[in-house]
Amino acid sequence: MEDFSKLFSELEDCNENEQKEKIEEMNRYMNNMNTEKLYLIFTTKIYNEIDKMIEEKKLSLENAILLLKLLGYWKILKDLLFLDCENTSLCKKIEKKIIDEEKKKEGRNEKKLVDLCECHTSLSCLFPPELLSICVSCLLNAARKKEENEKAQKDVEMALLSLISIYKFNDKGRELFLDEIKDIIKYHQEHCNLTRLAYQSIWKFLMERLYSQRELEGVIENELHFAREATREMEELVECVNWKRKEEEGEKEMKDVIVLRRWLDEVNNYLCSSPSWKEKHIELVGGVVQVFHAAKDNRPAIRDKCIYSFGTAVRKRDVNVDILLRKGVVDAVLEILQATLTDYVLANCICFLGELCKRLNGKMGVMFYEARRIETKRKVFERTEEEGYEDIIMSYHEILPDLEEKFEFLQMSKYSSDYLLSL
């Protein structure tokens, strides 16, 4: 952090080329910072100082844009979007420049407009209504570049990453631009022209509309094939990540890990929003199981997201428990009970087991042949006995009242104690 601050303080005493070099060096420092250190950077103070240097002509607009884009990149990548500086004079200045550039009938600089829109995401997620349509249209157009060279890929990645922040907290006045989004996704499916982060970002931009735009479900499932694409991306990312590397304090989070974590978020959102269990969900859940086994030892944050998705899957009223057993979901939940867990993750595991028990006892969910239900139930309970899981589960009985008081989803169900006793 000290090195970053030193470089920043030296900007006003450098010429334009030296400023670019220092900004690139600052970018390298941010690449190696953990989230806690990045928190210390994204303050109103740094943006006010940038604004002051621009006004005093100690920092060129070109270099200010470069710095703001890099700050925005790391802010969005590390999910620090709630750190807003929308009331700073710099933010107002950028907003005015965007509107002025857009209004030009002749000589409008499209690249400058894209740069300004991306700068705004460094400052705020709260776009005024008059900026929403301008920025979304501008960034989507930038993201539709067909070139596959490295520079074009980086430009497209930044444009799509910036789109995520625009809609983070804004529901009013938004437009979907569905045709443009479909075009970007389909072109990548045919030509693989996007980076992993860029591809995940355009999906995230679309998926966040599923809750309020139910008519998108058919497009997402049948036309753009979310389950297939998410499963494939997760499988490829599992192979890319160095899972032996421990998630130690202060260690930078690799981009592939960030992208994988975001795919898991979208998988869970997809399972939550789908009204019923579908055949295509089977491989999707199998992909999450694969991530779980890769992450369980050294990446607890990823592992816990997998557990949460398992709980979402088992709560589907028409889910086939036999599939969850065959795909290894039940084994994964039982296995994780041997680890040291936070109360939240433990509550999700117990929630999963309770829902599972209700289905195995025929109290709810899809109806299937009685012989099959009994056989599946036998297999599940044999698993709980094989590795001593029964004793582990029973050991949590004493803390159940505290968990049910702490977590509403356990309070409402009133089944967790019944499950433990049914063993």
> 295 and 243 in contact (C-beta within 8 Å)?
yes
CA-CA distances (angstroms) from residue 315 to 271, 312, 322, 353, 361? Answer: 10, 5, 14, 10, 15
pLDDT of residue 63: 95
> 23 and 63 in contact (C-beta within 8 Å)?
yes
End-to-end CA distance of the chain: 53
pLDDT of residue 304: 92
pLDDT of residue 413: 53
CA distance 224 to 222: 6
CA distance 321 to 33: 43
CB atoms within 10 A of CB 229: 19
DSSP state of 363: S
CA distance 312 to 355: 10
pLDDT of residue 149: 85
CA distance 304 to 344: 9
For residue 355 the two structure tokens come to 């829902």
CA distance 6 to 364: 62
- H-helix or E-strand containing 128? none
Per-residue pLDDT of the chain (423 residues; tens, 9 = 90+): 678 999 999 999 999 999 999 999 999 999 888 888 888 888 889 999 999 999 999 999 999 999 999 999 999 998 887 667 888 899 999 999 999 999 987 888 999 999 999 999 888 877 777 888 889 999 999 999 888 788 899 999 999 999 988 754 444 445 568 899 999 999 999 999 999 999 999 999 998 877 667 778 889 989 999 999 999 999 999 999 988 876 554 456 788 999 999 999 999 989 888 877 788 889 999 999 999 999 998 899 999 999 999 988 888 877 878 888 889 998 899 888 888 788 888 888 888 888 887 777 765 555 455 667 777 777 777 777 766 677 777 777 778 888 888 887 776 555 545 554 454
